[in-house]
Amino acid sequence: MAELKGSKYYTVVTDIGQAKIANSIYSGKKLDLTLLKLGDGNGAFYNPDSSQTDVKKEVWRGNVVDVEIDAGNPNWINIYTVIAPTDGGFTIREMAVFDSDGDMIGICNCAESYKPTLDEGSGKEITMKMTLAVVNTSAITLKIDPTIIYAKRKDVLELQTKVNEITKQINNLENDSYPIVEATGANAYIGASARIKAVGKGTRCTLFVGTASNGNCSLNLNNSGAVAIKDSNGNVVTNMKANIPYNLCHNGSDFILQGKGGGGNLIPKYLLAGYYGEGDNGRVDGAMVNRGAPTSNLNCGGVVNLQEGYYAGGQIIANSLASQTGGATADDTKVLNGYKYWKDGVLRTGNATIQSMGGINYRVGTFTVPNSKKTWINSEGTSISAYTLTIENLGFIPKNGTIYVLNITTSTPFLMSIGILRDGIYYLQRPSSTQKEYFIKIPSENNPDLSISSSLLRLPVYSYGDFNYFISE
């Protein structure tokens, strides 16, 4: 079994310790190190021996508070205990570690050290460390008193480093913060802070005023003289409120209110008159006119012109829908079919016809008869040779009308041909040079080409060329 030996101070694994560690490696049952004893060597320094089973003279004992594998050597085990400030009055020259069975596993000598008592004027806490060299560190486990918790020196040092860093940050934060200043007075405020040693460029504070301002504000801090309180645009602040925190920073000549102003595209016409705000160029005084809440009645075809400004609501009443069409006397039967009209605020469609309103359909125009004859049968059963007049798509059934050709090329105009439509029966003028002219009836039953309908009017005439006609229902 290994020993840790120096020129004078060293650790020895005892004979029983070697046997137990070897058995632990073989059996797999770990060895629990639970107790550390301190001794004074019976009054003198000595070299420990592996045959020892106890310290020469015990002066103090305590539980093992930590067991760890050495970071620099995996076969070394570091064992720790802590002597409380309340224990003392003895000299330390030897130290030994015991397992849970009470057997001494290792012992070492150490440099002489006296642990004073509180009554002697010293209350220091001492951490004792003992190192064992073993073949297999996995054979040893930790057994500590669960009622006592101690920090390892390494952890304490790390914790102290962190505490120091946090303390530094707190100090920096305190130095970088805004000391609170409670100011008296109104407008010309007076205040003080013990944390502020000098007033100048970069001096900061959080200002509370006891009385709201009603004019230009200034601050006399620590009797350094009154200076103006301005916003970030260089305007003197005039509207400080009581018991509201204001962060100020000295720029070398004035205190500047932090976090106010510095941005926006606000211009006067977008802000109500009597109000002000902040824009890119500083204070903006409103110029927008307050138009209130106007009302208006909009007649049919009327227009309401709104002026630029602010409107707090309002109402435009459209009279053109119901109220201005409520007196209409027309109805669907008085308006031609397919045409629309308004009545009582409702858009309606008429269904009247010309006949339903007391009128008749008619057609007036000129039509060219081609130079082509065909045979027709009159009411006497006589065949006649005549030309054909054709008019399509009258849109109504023709019942009455006149069809004629007027010759105006001579000094005395005369009718060359004339046809009469009466009550749906067609009469054709019969020309004669020897006797009085008269009309002959052209019956439809004898003439299949004869047509008197809304889609087609086909009739015989005694001439060709341009005919004038007037046709009605």
Answer yes or no: do 432 and 459 share one domain.
yes
Residues of the chain falling short of pLDDT 50: 1-2, 142-149, 262, 433-435
| Residue 453 lies inside a defined structural domain of this protein | yes
Residue 224 lies in a domain: yes
Whether residue 291 is contained in a domain is answered as no
pLDDT at 435: 46
Name the pairing type of β-strands 188-191 and 218-221: parallel
Is residue 39 domain-shared with residue 139, that is, in the same domain? Answer: yes
Q: How many CA within 13 A on the CB side of residue 464? A: 10
Same domain, 125 and 63: yes
Residue pair 402/420 in contact (Cβ under 8 Å)? The answer is: yes
Q: What is the pLDDT of residue 115?
A: 92
| Residue 97 maps to a domain | yes
Catalogue the long-range contacts made by 434-443 (C-beta closer than 8 Å, 24 or more residues apart): 440/378, 440/379, 440/380, 440/384, 441/378, 441/379, 442/376, 442/377, 442/378, 442/379, 443/377, 443/378, 443/379
Could you read off the pLDDT of 15-68 as tens digits, one per residue? 999 898 888 887 878 888 999 999 999 999 999 999 999 999 999 999 998 888
Both 134 and 23 in one domain: the answer is yes
The residue behind tokens 């009128």 is 359
Polymer length of the chain: 473
Q: What are the C-alpha distances in Å from 211 to residues 207, 221, 259, 288?
A: 12, 17, 21, 32
| Final residue in a domain of this structure, among 154, 189, 219 | 154
Residue 145 confidence (pLDDT): 43
Give the pLDDT confidence score for residue 163 in this predicted structure: 82
Say how far apart CA 109 and CA 130 lie, in whole Å. 10
Q: Is residue 281, in this structure, part of any structural domain at all?
A: no
> Which of 405, 408, 407 is CA-nearest to residue 419?
405
Rounded Cα gap, residues 123 and 85, in angstroms? 5
> pLDDT at position 325, please?
63
Distant-in-sequence, close-in-space partners of 457: CB < 8 Å, separation ≥ 6? 389, 390, 391, 392, 394, 398, 451, 471
- For the chain, the domain total comes to 4
Indicate if 328 and 375 belong to the same structural domain: no
Residues 125 and 184 occupy one common structural domain = no
**Which residues are CB-neighbours of 436 under 8 A, at least 6 positions away?**
none
Tell me, yes or no, whether 330 and 375 share the same domain. Answer: no
Considering the domain boundaries, does residue 173 fall inside one?
no
Instruction: State which of 257, 291, 311 marks the end of a domain.
Output: 257
**238 and 341 part of one domain:** no
Please tell me the predicted confidence (pLDDT) of residue 262.
46
Look at residues 257, 273, 289 and tell me which one is the last residue of a structural domain: 257
Q: What is the pLDDT of residue 6?
A: 52
pLDDT at 361: 82
Q: Which domain holds residue 124?
A: 11-154
- 84 and 187 housed in the same domain: no
Report the distance separating Cα 261 and Cα 369, nearest Å: 94
pTM: 0.35
User: Does one domain contain both 325 and 400?
Assistant: no
Residue 403's pLDDT is: 84
Q: Is residue 115 domain-shared with residue 204, that is, in the same domain?
A: no
Secondary structure, 3-state, the chain: CCCECCCCCCEEECHHHHHHHHHHHHHCCCEEEEEEEEECHHHCCCCCCCCCCCCCCEEEEEECCEEEECCCCCCEEEEEEEECCCCCCEEEEEEEEEECCCCEEEEEEEEEEEECCHHHCCCCCEEEEEEEECCCHHHEEECCCCCCCCCCHHHHHHHHHHHHHHHHHHHHHHHHCCCEEEEECCCEEEECCCCCCCCCCCCEEEEEECCCCCCCCEEEECCCCEEEEECCCCCECCCCCCCCCEEEEECCCCEEECCCCCCCCCCHHHCECCCEEEECCEEEECCECECCCCEEEECCCCCCCCCCCECCCCEEEECCCCCCCCCCCCCHHHCECCCEEEECCEEEECCECCCCCCCCCEEEEEEEECCCEEEEECCCCCEEEEEEEEEECCCCCCCEEEEEEEECCCCCCEEEEEEEEECCEEEEEECCCCCCCEEEEECCCCCCCCEECCCEEEEEECCCEEEEEEEEC
Whether residue 2 is contained in a domain is answered as: no
Residue 301 lies in a domain: no
Residues 53 and 117 in one domain: yes
